[in-house]
Amino acid sequence: MDVGIAESAAQAASIAADLIQRAVRAKPELVLGLATGSSPVGIYDELARRVNDGRISLAAASAFMLDEYVGLSPDHPQAYRSVIDDIFTRKVDIDPARVHGPDGTAKDVEAACIEYEQAIRAAGGTDVQILGIGTDGHIAFNEPTSSLASRTRIKTLTKQTRIDNSRFFGGDLDAVPSHCLTQGIGTIVEARKIILIAAGRGKAEAIRQTVEGPVSARWPATALQHHPDVTVLLDPAAACRLDLADYYREVWANKPAWQLPLGRPSARAEPTTRADVTGTCTDTAGMPPTLHHRGVDST
């Protein structure tokens, strides 16, 4: 697992775009895995800039979304299909017909999940998967205790998650779907390369567990430790609980140029160790980040 601690969230997103740009140049027909939430928005913005100024083209690429609400039409403004269209598809030159998502309107949900798995395999599998992470370590809608071998399936949203997400539905809890379809952890880790991006103190404990903790369904993202090609990109706040932060900075700063074609965080950026940041890994309410539930934009 490569850990890059950038000087800012914007730099982390730029480095992620560097890695994707390199992958697309090597394989123009690349299959990209798309995450919703706030974490990857900077990546999408940076990719859009590069498409629009001619540095990169996604015209031959295709994409698969991680998840979708059950029961929302694809054109509903809060359907993840609509969200991805707004934050990514419409801004780049990818063919919208090659951007795929789970069918949340299917009458036979189980069959739809099987078909989605088959579609990913038929496309040759995901080449680069973009991930965010929740404060509880979830990836996609795989929340704590999800099977680390799980496949695309239906999941029930907790009441708290629905309350958190109700702000996107005008505060109407009844309008928030109670179920979603999500790629499983076993599906996600089949991607050839994974880029996980996180920013802010609220993600610090989840990042510590994911990078340095034991593999456990309690923290679903820890399954990524077994993957051969994962890059974790962080701002200093998200990295503030890492015991080995200085080590990660040193390793990243001294990588060969061919491994990092463009972005290279500095070897020393304050704060550097847990001792340096005593008291900075608590949110404004003074509660540990692990006590917070997620909304749709928590990843």
**Of the residues 46, 68, 103, 143, which is catalytic?**
143
103 among known catalytic residues: no
Q: How many CB atoms lie within 10 A of CB 268?
A: 10
Tell me which residue has tokens 């680390």: 148
CB hemisphere CA count around 127 (13 angstroms): 19
CA distance 53 to 57: 10
The span from the CA of 134 to the CA of 287, in Å, is 16
Residue 282, both tokens: 């608590």
- Cα 259 to Cα 255: distance, rounded to the nearest angstrom: 6
Q: Rounded distance, CA 272 to CA 249, Å?
A: 9
138 is catalytic: yes
C-alpha–C-alpha distance, residues 252 and 24, integer Å: 22
Give the 3-state secondary structure of residue 156: strand
Catalytic: which of 68, 138, 190, 205? 138
Listing DSSP states for 90-114 in one string gives: GGSS--GGGEE---TT-SSHHHHHH
Q: Is-catalytic flag, 136?
A: yes
Q: Which residue among the candidates 46, 68, 136, 205 is catalytic per the annotation?
A: 136
Based on DSSP, count helices (H) and strands (E) in the chain, helices before strands. Answer: 8, 10
Tokens of 135: 């404060």
Give catalytic residues, as residue numbers: 67, 136, 138, 143
